[in-house]
């Protein structure tokens, strides 16, 4: 046997119907007021002082059906060391081209590499 009949509360003096919704509505209204005056500055401060917390807040606000995929890849799927070498070569070419066409600079690089790697014929 159940202690209460259907529709009868075990705590008749408990929280009134709709009280939780009123609290939620009041909290959201108060948050909106604070957001209007402080929101952007709070986000900027969080971005500097605690970027992880900012990311957590942002993630919590996203709809659950949104899928985020962040993938960091180098061009040509080079490994990071190869990419660093390639960037160094590109920077050297730019520095030495001096606005000229790149063909002669690339030819000079190719010839220098071939000469450096050449093996004497016995």
Question: Domain map of the chain by residue range?
Answer: 19-61, 75-117
Q: What is the reported pTM?
A: 0.34
User: What's the confidence (pLDDT) of residue 94?
Assistant: 82
CA distance 74 to 54: 27
Q: What is the pLDDT of residues 58-116, one digit of tens each?
A: 888 877 776 666 677 778 888 888 989 988 988 888 887 777 787 887 888 889 989 99
Ordered alpha helix ranges (H), the chain: 19-49, 51-61, 80-97, 102-117
B/e letters for 65-85, b = 16+ CB within 10 Å, e = fewer, are eeeeeeeeeeeeeeeeeeeee
SS3 at position 54: helix
Give the list of residues 6+ apart from residue 65 with CB closer than 8 angstroms, or none.
none
């Amino acid at each position: 046997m159940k202690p209460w009949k259907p529709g009868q509360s075990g705590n008749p003096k408990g929280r009134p119907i709709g009280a939780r919704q009123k609290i939620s509505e009041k909290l959201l209204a108060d948050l909106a007021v604070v957001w209007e005056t402080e929101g952007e500055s709070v986000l900027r401060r969080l971005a500097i002082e605690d970027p992880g917390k900012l990311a957590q807040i942002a993630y919590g606000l996203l709809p659950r059906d949104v899928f985020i995929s962040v993938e960091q890849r180098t061009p040509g799927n080079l490994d990071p060391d190869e990419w660093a070498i390639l960037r160094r070569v590109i920077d050297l070419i730019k520095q030495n081209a001096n606005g000229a066409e790149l063909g002669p600079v690339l030819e000079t690089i190719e010839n220098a590499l071939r000469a450096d790697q050449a093996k004497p014929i016995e």
